[in-house]
């Protein structure tokens, strides 16, 4: 089998059951059945070969894809030994299989998904902060528009930190903004929480003390991804917000002491939160890296670090590595500091960007922030949905 097949006119282009747009062209000009599959060529000269099983697996007809949910119904368990007949209909691929099943493929859809096509996504890769980094600021009124929301989501997923400004001073606005994106992530502190000094606190955030840089809830197997903090009142003296980018600091640690990075990323330790009603604990390294050495998460929170249970001969090296990481995070070169004003909301990637605050005087004025968490998947999902409508 090695023959180019004839083009036949067709009344309309095949539907691929996609919500994400794909190009209307270029059209296919040749489809050739080979021993490897079907070799395709488009008007612009691009070529690819797709295996028969791949083509059968990606059939978009109602028998192979649910017409409402768009979920796959076909199960590719067996190799295809009997080749289909291959035709081009109005520049699109038409396959008639030996069992009389028919598959139609839009040329633009195939062009977008050919193996050598560049991967294009509206979701940006994380970028470590550079010197003089300034977070994206989007006005509340603009965030309520698709363009403003896209700008804020893009900055959040790229930088791990962004602000919304000029918002209304009303209770629960943080929840309303969060739920434009996705459901709030509930924890033992509730779905939405108030950050202010109060009697009998069960967390240092509910006091007036300064908070060194940390992530929230490292004692959970999966700490919350994104934290939102909406400022309703901030009349107290002090209390400036502090942030540092874990991706930037881990690179600094790698340059200064790769041995320390190896210790902190390869040695699981214990984290634990306990009060009268909860006892939540897990064991994980302070730093987690992916296969390429990029930061996955930084579990730095000295309050919730439990007893260090590692071999005695490893303890001195671990404490030395931990101290170096702590100093890098708290150095002026890596810290970002600003005062959160009423009507502003700061959001940050809790597993990447550490946050803290200066001590404040509760007798000098009221301070009230409301917060919640979101899953990062919901930000990426929302950005993909917005990107469908250009």
CB-based contact 253:261 (threshold 8 Å): yes
Q: What is the mean pLDDT of residues 248-264?
A: 98
The whole-number pLDDT of residue 203 equals 56
CB-based contact 233:194 (threshold 8 Å): no
The whole-number pLDDT of residue 334 equals 97
The whole-number pLDDT of residue 197 equals 64
Among 174, 189, 191, CA closest to 370 = 174
Q: What is the mean pLDDT of residues 53-67?
A: 97
Q: What is the mean pLDDT of residues 266-279?
A: 96
CATH of 3-113, one of 3.30.565.10, 3.30.70.1400, 3.90.420.10, 3.30.2020.30: 3.30.2020.30
Sign of CA dihedral 207, 213, 216, 218: negative
Domains 3-113 and 136-387 share a fold: no
pLDDT tens column, 321-372: 999 999 999 999 999 999 999 999 999 999 999 999 999 888 888 899 999 9
Sign of CA dihedral 45, 50, 56, 60: negative
Grade residue 390 by pLDDT with cuts at 50, 70 and 90: low
Q: Is the pLDDT of residue 9 over 70?
A: no
pLDDT tens column, 114-141: 999 998 899 999 999 999 999 999 999 9
Strands lying side by side in the sheet with 161-165: 136-139, 161-165, 345-349, 226-234, 367-374, 192-195
CA–CA separation, 263 and 314 (whole Å) = 9
Other Cβ atoms within 10 Å of 226 Cβ, number: 26
Q: Which fold has domain 136-387?
A: Double-stranded beta-helix (3.60.130)
Q: What is the mean pLDDT of residues 47-69?
A: 97
CA–CA separation, 171 and 169 (whole Å) = 7
pLDDT tens column, 286-329: 999 999 999 999 999 999 999 999 999 999 999 999 999 999 99
Q: 70: left (phi > 0), else alpha (psi -120 to 50), else beta? A: left
The whole-number pLDDT of residue 241 equals 96
State the pTM of this model.
0.90
CA–CA separation, 207 and 195 (whole Å) = 9
Percentage of the chain exceeding pLDDT 90: 88
The whole-number pLDDT of residue 12 equals 77
The whole-number pLDDT of residue 202 equals 52
Q: Is the pLDDT of residue 201 over 60?
A: no
* Phi, psi for residue 361 in degrees, rounded to 5: -100, 105
Strand partners, 241: 338, 357
The whole-number pLDDT of residue 5 equals 41
Other Cβ atoms within 10 Å of 17 Cβ, number: 17
First to last CA, the chain: 43
Q: Is the pLDDT of residue 8 over 60?
A: no
- In this structure, what token pair is assigned to residue 189? 């502190």
CA–CA separation, 76 and 168 (whole Å) = 53
Q: What's the mean per-residue pLDDT of the chain?
A: 93
What residues does each domain of the chain span? 3-113, 136-387
CB-based contact 329:300 (threshold 8 Å): yes
Strand partners, 305: 271
Among 258, 355, 238, CA closest to 301 = 355
CB under 8 Å to 204, separation ≥6 — which residues? 211, 303
């Amino acid at each position: 089998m090695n023959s180019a097949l004839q083009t036949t006119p067709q009344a309309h282009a095949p539907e691929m059951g996609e919500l994400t747009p794909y190009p209307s062209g270029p059209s296919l000009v040749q489809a050739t059945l080979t021993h490897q599959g079907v070799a395709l060529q488009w008007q612009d000269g691009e070529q690819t070969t797709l295996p028969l099983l791949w083509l059968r697996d990606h059939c978009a007809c109602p028998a192979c894809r649910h017409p409402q949910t768009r979920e796959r119904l076909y199960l590719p368990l067996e190799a295809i030994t009997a080749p289909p007949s291959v035709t081009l209909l109005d520049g699109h691929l038409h396959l008639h299989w030996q069992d009389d099943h028919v598959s139609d493929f839009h040329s633009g859809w195939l062009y977008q998904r050919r193996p050598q096509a560049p991967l294009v996504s509206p979701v940006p890769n994380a970028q470590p902060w550079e010197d003089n980094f300034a977070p994206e600021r989007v006005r509340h009124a603009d965030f309520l528009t698709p363009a403003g929301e896209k700008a804020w989501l893009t900055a959040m997923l790229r930088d791990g930190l962004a602000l919304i400004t000029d918002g209304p001073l009303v209770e629960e606005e943080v929840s309303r903004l969060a739920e434009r994106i996705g459901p709030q992530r509930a924890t033992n502190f509730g779905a939405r929480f108030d950050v202010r000094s109060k009697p009998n606190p069960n967390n240092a955030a509910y006091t007036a003390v300064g908070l060194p840089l940390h992530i929230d809830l490292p004692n959970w197997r999966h700490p919350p991804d994104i934290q939102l903090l909406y400022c309703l009142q901030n009349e107290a003296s002090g209390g400036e917000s502090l942030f540092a980018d874990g991706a930037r600091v881990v690179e600094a640690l790698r340059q200064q002491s790769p041995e320390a990075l190896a210790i902190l990323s390869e040695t699981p330790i214990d984290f634990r939160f306990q009060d009268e009603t909860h006892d939540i604990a897990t064991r994980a390294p302070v730093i987690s890296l992916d296969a390429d050495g990029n930061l996955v998460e930084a579990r730095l929170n000295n309050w919730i670090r439990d007893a260090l249970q590692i071999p005695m001969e490893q303890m001195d090296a671990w404490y030395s590595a931990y101290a170096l990481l702590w100093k890098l995070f708290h150095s002026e070169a890596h810290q970002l500091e600003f005062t959160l004003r009423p009507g502003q909301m700061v959001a940050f990637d809790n597993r990447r960007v550490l946050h803290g605050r200066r001590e404040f005087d509760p007798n000098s004025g009221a301070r009230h922030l409301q917060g919640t968490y979101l899953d990062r998947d919901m930000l990426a999902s929302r950005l993909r949905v917005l990107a469908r409508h250009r």
